[in-house]
Amino acid sequence: MATPPVIKADKREEFGKGASRRLRREGKVPGVLYESGIDNVHFAVDRLEITALVRNEGTNAVLELEVDGEKLLCMVKNVDQNVLTLEIDHVDLLGVKRGEKVVVEVPVVTEGEAHPAAVVLQEADVVEVEVDALKIPDELTVSIEGKEIGEQITAADITLPEGAELITDPETLVVNFTYEQQDEELEEAAAEAEEGGAEAGAESTEEPTE
């Protein structure tokens, strides 16, 4: 992302739950920008704008927050959503500098088809990488084409963008290729329970002895 989108924001002077509720009724989302060396910036942005940014760019979205005519380069660090409406209730931003590297979690997706007999188990959905703040990938893709039972893909096998560094332990299992397993213990327990139930039913039909 060479040119981050610009989102205009109003500086917040009122704080607390009451002030936040008023902002939300007005279609705005309260937030805080954190950056080392400067005071936290409390702001409010248009809900539709920030929702579109997060939806299109993901939770690692980079933007320029325009406050009082000043543009502050930052990235989305955390989003709080309403549990009922799923609308964004609050957003935390992290200030960054051009050329600065940041540590982020990036989703891992698979492509291709494994061997028909193999069951594909994705053990890790994200990996941590250190990358230029303006070059954060939306996702990292690994090929499972033709993979057979017994093979594995670890974090070290993932191809990273140029200049990015893997932070996750390289030996972390990301995708495992195994066989369809049947829980023999459960099957045996079910069979024993069925047999025991049949015996109990048979006993209940016997005439009591005096």
For residue 77, what is the domain's CATH number?
Answer: 2.40.240.10
Domain that holds residue 58: 6-96
pLDDT at 177 over 80: yes
Q: State mean pLDDT over 47-70.
A: 89
Report the pLDDT value the prediction gives residue 210, as an integer from 0 to 100: 46
Q: Tell me whether residue 207 is in a domain.
A: no
Report the pLDDT value the prediction gives residue 46, as an integer from 0 to 100: 92
Report the pLDDT value the prediction gives residue 150, as an integer from 0 to 100: 94
Q: In whole angstroms, what is the distance from residue 25 CA to residue 6 CA? A: 23
Q: What angle do CA 191, 200, 184 make, to 5 degrees?
A: 10
Q: pLDDT digits over 13-49, tens only?
A: 777 778 888 888 888 999 999 987 778 889 999 999 9
Report the pLDDT value the prediction gives residue 183, as an integer from 0 to 100: 59
Q: Tell me whether residue 29 is in a domain.
A: yes
Q: pLDDT digits over 124-176, tens only?
A: 999 999 999 888 988 999 999 999 999 999 999 999 999 999 999 999 999 99
pLDDT at 206 over 60: no
The reply to whether 108 and 87 lie within a common domain is: no
Q: State mean pLDDT over 87-97.
A: 90
Report the pLDDT value the prediction gives residue 184, as an integer from 0 to 100: 58
Q: pLDDT digits over 68-82, tens only?
A: 888 999 999 989 888
Report the pLDDT value the prediction gives residue 116, as an integer from 0 to 100: 92
The reply to whether 80 and 114 lie within a common domain is: no
| SS3 state at 146 | coil
Neighbours of 30 (CB within 10 A): 22
pLDDT at 199 over 70: no
Q: Tell me whether residue 1 is in a domain.
A: no
The reply to whether 74 and 157 lie within a common domain is: no
Instruction: Pick the more confident residue, 185 or 29.
Output: 29
CATH of the domain at 171: 2.170.120.20
Q: In whole angstroms, what is the distance from residue 191 CA to residue 187 CA? A: 6
Is 3 in contact with 13 (CB distance < 8 Å)?
A: no
pLDDT at 58 over 60: yes
Strand-pair partners of 176: 121, 152
The reply to whether 185 and 121 lie within a common domain is: yes
Report the pLDDT value the prediction gives residue 37, as an integer from 0 to 100: 73
The reply to whether 68 and 129 lie within a common domain is: no
In this prediction the pTM is 0.70
Q: Tell me whether residue 11 is in a domain.
A: yes
Residue 97 main-chain phi, psi, to 5 deg: -115, 150
Pinpoint the alpha helices (H) of 16-162: 17-25, 47-57
The amino acid present at 93, given as its one-letter code, is L
In the chain, how many domains are there? 2
Q: Tell me whether residue 42 is in a domain.
A: yes
The reply to whether 90 and 119 lie within a common domain is: no
pLDDT confidence bin for 83, thresholds 50/70/90: confident
Q: How many residues are there in the chain? A: 210
What DSSP element (H or E) covers 185?
helix 184-204
Report the pLDDT value the prediction gives residue 25, as an integer from 0 to 100: 84
Residue 93 structure tokens: 């931003």
The reply to whether 90 and 10 lie within a common domain is: yes
Q: In whole angstroms, what is the distance from residue 89 CA to residue 79 CA? A: 8
The reply to whether 78 and 12 lie within a common domain is: yes
